[in-house]
Amino acid sequence: MAPGALLLEAQKEYEKESQKADEYLREIQELGQLTQAVQQCIEAAGHEHQPDMQKSLLRAASFGKCFLDRFPPNSFVHMCQDLRVLNAVRDYHIGIPLTYSQYKQLTIQVLLDRLVLRRLYPLAIQICEYLRLPEVQGVSRILAHWACYKVQQKDVSDEDVARAINQKLGDTPGVSYSDIAARAYGCGRTELAIKLLEYEPRSGEQVPLLLKMKRSKLALSKAIESGDTDLVFTVLLHLKNELNRGDFFMTLRNQPMALSLYRQFCKHQELETLKDLYNQDDNHQELGSFHIRASYAAEERIEGRVAALQTAADAFYKAKNEFAAKATEDQMRLLRLQRRLEDELGGQFLDLSLHDTVTTLILGGHNKRAEQLARDFRIPDKRLWWLKLTALADLEDWEELEKFSKRQEGCALPSPSASFCGDLHETTQQI
Amino acid sequence: MAAHLSYGRVNLNVLREAVRRELREFLDKCAGSKAIVWDEYLTGPFGLIAQYSLLKEHEVEKMFTLKGNRLPAADVKNIIFFVRPRLELMNIIAENVLSEDRRGPTRDFHILFVPRRSLLCEQRLKDLGVLGSFIHREEYSLDLIPFDGDLLSMESEGAFKECYLEGDQTSLYHAAKGLMTLQALYGTIPQIFGKGECARQVANMMIRMKREFTGSQNSIFPVFDNLLLLDRNVDLLTPLATQLTYEGLIDEIYGIQNSYVKLPPEKFAPKKQGDGGKDLPTEAKKLQLNSAEELYAEIRDKNFNAVGSVLSKKAKIISAAFEERHNAKTVGEIKQFVSQLPHMQAARGSLANHTSIAELIKDVTTSEDFFDKLTVEQEFMSGIDTDKVNNYIEDCIAQKHSLIKVLRLVCLQSVCNSGLKQKVLDYYKREILQTYGYEHILTLHNLEKAGLLKPQTGGRNNYPTIRKTLRLWMDDVNEQNPTDISYVYSGYAPLSVRLAQLLSRPGWRSIEEVLRILPGPHFEERQPLPTGLQKKRQPGENRVTLVFFLGGVTFAEIAALRFLSQLEDGGTEYVIATTKLMNGTSWIEALMEKPF
């Protein structure tokens, strides 16, 4: 007789409160086969189909374990769990008559897949929970399958399906709402797909699908919510191709963040569009700056540059930026003047600052012209004084410099001139 | 190795190792010999993560700079482009790929986007017909780069301009991503505080991203207790003032780039006997500056006026140590002396370098003009004569001092007066345009848009209230043995750091009124931790706060935070993160616009 069989007998006698139990047990122990006996009972339980028989075998194993010091509990526990799963699927409602060996061969994952295929979702989930499978492999996966099936039920309204799915799934980790939505979209249920996407926390998944479903505006607001500018750009370029220009601009107008991003894009890629955008918003200040840039970048001829500046000045007036408008007009005047100076005197004047223009004139010995220019553009006395001082020092015209500093005496100007000239004198003499 | 990264309270080497691992994994994906084509801007930051040796171990044989036309010849199997996701770079890459010689051996192309893969760029590559040529297209999320044991930077130059001028949040998104990476390595940060519009957005993005990651529960014990997000535009004042710490001054005068500084070589000429001294080195002396150097770690955050005494003390100690050799009698003693030699020689070399740097800086700081400029700055910051045209600024313009210097001063005056009177503002602007050229009107517009330069609205100057409540100006400042953060600017306590200080003690509730005056919302968010990860603080254990400056931070501010960390009864240690390490000059420069 196998030790396992003897152990089973022993346990039965024990229940009957018969002393035979002790005899049998002693017999097994004397042969040193108790461990083996327990293992045999556990294994035999696995291969039994009748729950009653399974139970008595397991009871025998458990009884035997009491007399063992260190019997690892794993095999017993796992067998109990496996049997529970097997008995569940063997139930006639389910009807999967699986043997223990088959089950071990298939693995639990395959068994779950089969249950899913038979749409036995609740049982599958119960099994996962009972076996404490990690959520991503277990419950979430099954819920996702369930949801994908659910969206194919055409007789239920979008509203109800979406709500049902969200109720079941909630924030279960590892469930991809966008996968489910993609399935819904595949079945032609776009509205449902959109509703489902509402629950998708990852905008990187959400947005491309929305674009695919031609819900670009919704995609835009989702992209903006995420803060991922690359995603916003992607939607914007999509929208640009999809909508006509007017509609596109109108859409932008309601989305300030998208608008500023698109402006950045235009600044580098499509300058003309940038102008249109500013025009649409009546943003005269930026239009002014735009034309200033244009006056430097696009135009070669002086007339063209002045014309661009004129447009800029007009824009600044509209923006109520008096200062910028006046400064721009001054610059136009200066440009024309510099052009004339180049014609009459030769040399380089264009694009020098006013300050440098006057300096160049003094260096060239055109003192009258310099004075005239300084007056016309109202250079403050103090700066003019510094300007002349530096220019004369550069010319090393010490005589004129001395006269100049004397002439200025009595004026309420600061006079670091002595030390300044001293410094200069020293340096030049060293040279 | 980068041992200096692990000295601090938070071991930032963990982060460095994580990004290095990611880089190795990518390189190993492209089997065989490789050439890397670099977006030039990335080489500096990458140098802090991986030296050439690491790349070489993974069969990187050649490196090129990304430019148009055909790629240089290289007998390698793989060509990898390391680029930022920018459209203009995509055009260059496409040009490279298309002009590839068809007759030559075929080479595999790959592209690594730093820090983020971009659909927009891939679309561009597709439009140009080259997207299919790339085998691997991946992203390398190098957001926060460890610079020092307590310092992280994204080195994103345009961040301030993008956020505050152009309404482009890309760098904020990257900042949030970087914070998520940090939390994945160092645990969820339980409390987030913030001040400013951008801070609010970053916090929102973080909360959102956390939702995207539900499921993968973070089970790391949190290292950081708090995160403080600060907008640069909450404190526009600090970067405009001249930094007066040692490191700050090196940065102000020579500019520190990716922890390296280039210095004029004359002072570093090897002193040799005879006529060797005649041929001076012409190439700039390049030095790495971080806390791996013992002496530098000690003096970097001191007020410059306190550096000299430390250097001379060190000199005495070192020469005394070298004198020891005369006392070494027995063989054992000599052996011990010899074993210390390398360390002593390194210390001597480091001392020589810093003495030279200090001399260079002293030449500048003792000049009359530096003194005048500083006086004006300090007057503005302490609230003297901020409402009228300043003589010194006028003179600077008239003598055509550098435009950036002038702009810094004018902006400083504007900020210290909550905007200038229209008349004063127009006067300055006119003077600048007439002297430096009309084209700078675009720069002036930018400064106005950023709020650095503005007309006073409502006729109220809020700065005195802010100054008094936050104690921004301290008259009795001790530069040698500081007792307050104001030592970093010899009197002015940086507003941003004061906010951090007040947050830890007694809390922001005490300064509600000032917070309302400063721009943007202030807020607090909690990220709940699972019970197992909640911290039980030991008595006397300091909190760790991560301060993130959105839009840039100066070395003086970093020094001030380090000073607070070291306070015995401070209770808080700080780790600093930022979008860019900067100073007033580089800041204004980034805001300038040259149309030609």
Rounded to whole angstroms, the Cα distance separating B150 from B504 reads 18
Nearest to A2 by CA among A26, A47, A38: A38
Given this model, what pLDDT does residue B592 score? 95
Together in a domain, B437 and B505? no
Residue with tokens 């000032």: B514
The predicted model gives A43-66 an average pLDDT of 90
Beta bridge partners of B79: B35, B109
- pLDDT of amino acid A431: 44
Residues B433 and B343 in one domain: no
What pLDDT does A411 receive? 46
Q: What is the mean pLDDT of chain A?
A: 86
Question: Could you tell me the CATH number of the domain that includes residue B524?
Answer: 3.40.50.1910
CATH of the domain at B442: 1.25.40.850
Spatial neighbors of A229 by CB under 8 A, at least 6 apart, are A261, B168, B169, B170, B173
Q: Are residues B209 and B231 in the same domain?
A: yes
Which of B325, B342, B366 is the endpoint of a domain?
B366
**Residues A138 and A85: beta-carbon distance below 8 Å:** no
| Residue A410: predicted pLDDT | 42
The pLDDT confidence band at residue A179, using thresholds 50, 70 and 90, is confident
On the question of pLDDT at B575 being above 90, the answer is: yes
pLDDT > 90? residue B511? yes
What is the per-residue pLDDT for A425? 53
Domains identified in chain A and CATH numbers: 1-106 (no CATH), 352-431 (1.10.150)
Q: Is residue B476 assigned to a domain?
A: no
Query: How many interface pairs between A and B have CB atoms less than 8 angstroms apart?
Result: 129
Print the domain residue range for B377. Answer: 369-461
Q: Any idea what the CATH number is for the domain that residue B333 is in?
A: 3.90.830.10
Q: Which of A305, A383, A384, A390 to mutate to test the interface with B (most CBs of B within 10 A)?
A: A383
Residue A414 has pLDDT above 50, yes or no: no
Check whether B390 has a pLDDT greater than 60.
yes
pLDDT at B4 over 90: no
Query: What is chain B's alpha carbon radius of gyration, rounded to the nearest angstrom?
Result: 26
Predicted confidence at residue B276, as pLDDT, reads 47
Q: Do B436 and A257 touch (CB under 8 A)?
A: no
Q: Which of residues 360-399 of A touch B (CB under 8 A)?
A: 377, 379-380, 382-383, 385-387, 390
Angstrom distances, CA of residue B19 to CA of B24, B29, B57, B185, B323:
9, 16, 16, 11, 46
Best interface-test mutation with B: which of A228, A306, A337, A413 has the largest number of B CBs within 10 A?
A228
| B88–A226 C-beta distance less than 8 A | no
What digits encode the pLDDT tens for the residues B179-199? 999 999 999 999 999 999 999
Task: Give the pLDDT confidence of A204-222 residue by residue, as tens digits.
Answer: 888 988 988 888 888 999 9
Residue B138 and residue B36 share a domain: yes
DSSP B138: E
Domain containing residue B74: CATH number: 3.40.50.2060
Lowest mean pLDDT among A276-285, B221-230, B274-283, B426-435: B274-283
Give B569 or B563, the one with higher predicted confidence.
B563
**Residues in A touching B169 (Cβ below 8 Å):** 227, 229, 257
> Residue B576: enclosing H or E segment and its boundaries?
strand B572-578
pLDDT digits (tens, 9 = 90+) for A260-305: 999 988 988 888 899 999 988 899 999 999 999 989 887 678 888 9
**CA B202 to chain CA mean position, Å:** 19
Are B353 and B378 found together in one domain?
A: no
Residue with tokens 């835009």: A220
> By the CB < 8 Å criterion, does A328 face chain B?
yes
pLDDT for residue B503: 94
pLDDT for the residue A419: 52
pLDDT tens, position by position, B44-96 = 999 899 888 899 999 999 999 998 888 888 888 899 999 999 889 999 999 99
Give the dihedral of Cα atoms B308, B313, B319, B325; nearest 10 deg.
-160
**What are B517-537's pLDDT values in tens digits?**
999 999 999 998 887 777 777
Q: 């003499």: which residue's tokens? A: A429
**Does one domain contain both B340 and B379?**
no
Residue A150 has pLDDT above 60, yes or no: yes
pLDDT of the residue at A430? 47
Nearest to B169 among A171, A229, A387 (CB): A229
pLDDT tens for each residue of B218-235 = 678 889 999 999 999 999
Q: Cβ of A296 and B595 within 8 Å? A: yes
Say whether both B42 and B138 belong to one domain. Answer: yes
ipTM: 0.87
Same domain, B386 and B446: yes
State how far the Cα of A203 lies from the Cα of A195, in Å rounded to an integer. 14
Band (A413; pLDDT cuts 50, 70, 90): very low
Closest CA to B249 of B309, B297, B302, B298: B302
**Poorest-pLDDT segment among A277-281, B164-168, B210-214:** B210-214
Axis-axis angle for helices A3-15, A20-30 (nearest 10): 160
Domain count for chain B: 4
How far the first Cα of chain A sits from its last, in Å, is 121
pLDDT at B545: 95
